[in-house]
């Protein structure tokens, strides 16, 4: 009886030990040398992942700092204005690269992460200029975006919207406190299955929450709420 009882307990323990990593990891585990989207170094999900593309257009980048080559360590920083840890997503539609579920380091002014590009990015030949990054927190039932800073801050933000279908944005506005804020953004057309890129030169815009308001030729409207503070430079 004791033998059977001990055997049962041993089998149960092994089952729990095998199941725990699957429950703990926010994405599949796998071979670290592969390019698959897996849980890596116990601090992120990263790799190549097939994804369903929404038919709605969406903001896929609100960032600072252009990347033309990969440094030894890619330093990523997100300004901090509240105690909520942002959800950070970095992706490239060139080869379905996805990086998310990161364990960010926190200090008094920012959240940060240092990524080794050799692990996936360089092995998969992902061009650095194709990386798109967003970081957001939920506030009053809506996503509020914070700029993702690669390296040093700049006098402009890169804004990228993705659409799986061709569309023209007849209205592109930056708003503040329900009023149109003067900006350099212009109506633009997005190619079929592609991205549209704007560079918002914010100039003397005061710190606060801004609204990127978009309306296409079919009348579809979306607003994305962006946090801005010139001190983040």
Both tokens assigned to 38: 């897996």
Both tokens assigned to 131: 């990386």
> What percentage of the chain carries pLDDT values higher than 90?
64
What is the model's pLDDT at position 193? 63
Contact 174, 200 (CB under 8 A): yes
Contact 202, 184 (CB under 8 A): no
What are the tens digits of pLDDT across the range 195-214?
A: 999 999 999 999 999 999 99
Q: Which distant-in-sequence residues (6+ apart) come within 8 Å of 57 by Cβ?
A: 161, 162, 163, 167, 190, 214, 216, 220, 222
Q: Which secondary-structure segment (H or E) carries 185?
A: none
What is the model's pLDDT at position 231? 86
What is the model's pLDDT at position 192? 67
- Which residue in the block uniquely carries the two structure tokens 């926190």? 106
pLDDT less than 50: residues of the chain:
1-22
Q: Which distant-in-sequence residues (6+ apart) come within 8 Å of 201 by Cβ?
A: 155, 156, 183, 184
> What percentage of the chain carries pLDDT values higher than 70?
88
Domain boundaries, the chain: 3-232
Both tokens assigned to 63: 């960032």
pTM to 2 decimal places: 0.85
What is the model's pLDDT at position 22? 43
What is the model's pLDDT at position 110? 93
What are the tens digits of pLDDT across the range 63-111?
A: 998 888 999 999 999 998 777 899 999 999 888 999 999 999 999 899 9
Distances (CA, A) of 17 to 4, 5, 12, 44, 118: 20, 18, 9, 21, 31
**Beta strands at 221-228 and 142-146: parallel, antiparallel or unpaired:** parallel
């Amino acid at each position: 009886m004791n033998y059977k009882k001990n055997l049962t307990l041993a089998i149960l323990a092994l089952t729990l030990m095998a199941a725990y990593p699957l429950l703990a990891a926010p994405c599949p585990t796998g071979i670290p040398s592969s390019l698959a989207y897996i849980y890596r170094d116990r601090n992120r999900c990263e790799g190549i992942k097939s994804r369903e593309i929404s038919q709605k257009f969406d903001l896929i980048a609100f960032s600072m700092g252009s990347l033309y080559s990969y440094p030894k360590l890619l330093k990523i920083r997100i300004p901090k204005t509240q105690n909520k840890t942002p959800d950070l997503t970095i992706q490239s539609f060139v080869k379905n690269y996805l990086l998310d579920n990161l364990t960010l380091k926190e200090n008094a002014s920012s959240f940060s992460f240092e990524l080794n590009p050799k692990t996936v990015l360089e092995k998969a030949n992902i061009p650095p200029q194709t990386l798109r990054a967003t970081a957001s927190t939920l506030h009053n039932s809506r996503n509020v975006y914070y700029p993702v800073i690669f390296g040093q801050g700049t006098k402009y933000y890169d804004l990228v919207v993705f659409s799986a279908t061709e569309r023209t944005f007849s209205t592109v506005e930056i708003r503040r406190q329900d009023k149109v804020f003067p900006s350099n953004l212009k109506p633009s057309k997005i190619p079929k299955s592609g991205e549209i890129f704007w560079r918002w030169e914010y100039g003397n815009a005061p710190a606060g929450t801004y609204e990127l308001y978009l309306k296409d030729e079919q009348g579809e409207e979306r607003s994305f709420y962006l946090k801005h503070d010139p001190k983040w430079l």
